Amino acid sequence: MQETTPAALADWVGREENRADRLDHRPTAALAATLDLAPEAVLAEGVLPPLWHWIHFTPLTRSAELGSDGHPARGGFLPPVELPNRMWAGGRLRFLRPLALGAEVERRTRILRCERKQGRSGELVFVTVAHSIAESPSSGDGPAIEEEQDIVYRQPAPRNQSGQRPAGESAPDGADYRIRRVPDPVLLFRYSALTFNSHRIHYDQPYTTGEEGYPGLVVHGPLTATLLLQAYRQTHPARRIERFAFRAFGPLHAGETVDFCGRDDAPGHSELWTDIGGRLGMRAEVDYSLPATTRAAAFPLP
């Protein structure tokens, strides 16, 4: 693949695309089951839980148009970056109003930034895209969700002499709660199916270890973020999520024990993170509000 120069990357900034979808009940029920929630209770709420829009607007890429990594071949909407590893590194979301189940929705997307940088592990390319999601655009209600996604391209991370990755940043102390899970390959498969994500690092162990240099199957960044926010909502069911921002510090692998942690650090604001055996995997923050009349969630979160 021809190297994408900074000047060539700049040509991609400002590109736009629009997608339409319908918030059908079945995918929502399927995600509820995947996350070990009661589908009928989630559907009874009548609105899409925060972050669950990620199972919609999925690209319907033909098999012949996929790259060797299982992703859509590069050079479509996103720039054709030559670095082999690609991951969703973080994002920032504002939840302005609920999205009703069954609604027709539209997502407008624009590439905000394309930057080539030098990191500790080598060259990196960051691409930031902005999404605006609204119900029935003709209604004039404005967006329900505003989102920015950070995508990073890089070389496979180096291993040390023992064959393991270097130790990452330590997870914080002082959590108000810890909810422990062990993501397994079945969870990864079901989430990949729901998001129509064929990236092989989530299901193909030989490819993951041999080609991309990971020690095991990689848990999707959006899935980790969804589980992180789910744990928070379990602990604080009456809070309305207004803003959620997250950043990945290192991968979570299938079979690893992970604690989803959080604490309040200011009125209306909370810090969240994942603790993977003392290693920080993801850090996030939440801005929330309390409704005038609080009520418990209509369904329990495990």
* pLDDT beyond 50 at 293: yes
Q: What mean pLDDT do residues 165-176 have?
A: 84
Q: What mean pLDDT do residues 172-192 have?
A: 97
Q: Indicate the range of 23-37, 60-74, 89-103 predicted with least confidence.
A: 60-74
Domains of the chain (ranges; CATH) run 6-289 (3.10.129.10)
Q: Which residue has the higher pLDDT, 41 or 67?
A: 41
* pLDDT beyond 60 at 165: no
- Whether the predicted model's global pTM rises above the 0.95 cut: no
Q: For the chain, what is the mean pLDDT?
A: 88
3-state secondary structure the chain: CCCCCHHHHHCCCCCEEEEEEECCHHHHHHHHHHCCCCHHHHHHHCECCCCHHHHCCCCCCCHHHECCCCCECCCCCCCCCCCCEEEEEEEEEEECCCCECCCEEEEEEEEEEEEEEEECCEEEEEEEEEEEEEECHHHCCCCCEEEEEEEEEECCCCCCCCCCCCCCCECCCCCCEEEEECCCHHHHHHHHHHHCCCCHHHCCHHHHHHCCCCCCCECCHHHHHHHHHHHHHHHCCCCEEEEEEEEECCCCECCCCEEEEEEEEECCEEEEEEEECCEEEEEEEEEEECCCCCCCCCCCCC
Q: What mean pLDDT do residues 165-190 have?
A: 91
* pLDDT beyond 70 at 62: yes
* pLDDT beyond 60 at 162: no
The predicted structure's pLDDT at residue 66: 82
Question: pLDDT digits over 215-271, tens only?
Answer: 999 999 999 999 999 999 999 999 999 999 999 999 999 999 999 999 999 999 999
Confidence of residue 123 (pLDDT cuts 50, 70, 90): confident
Q: Indicate the range of 140-144, 160-164, 217-221 predicted with least confidence.
A: 160-164
* pLDDT beyond 80 at 300: no
* pLDDT beyond 80 at 77: no
% residues pLDDT > 90 (the chain): 68
* pLDDT beyond 80 at 119: no
Confidence of residue 81 (pLDDT cuts 50, 70, 90): confident
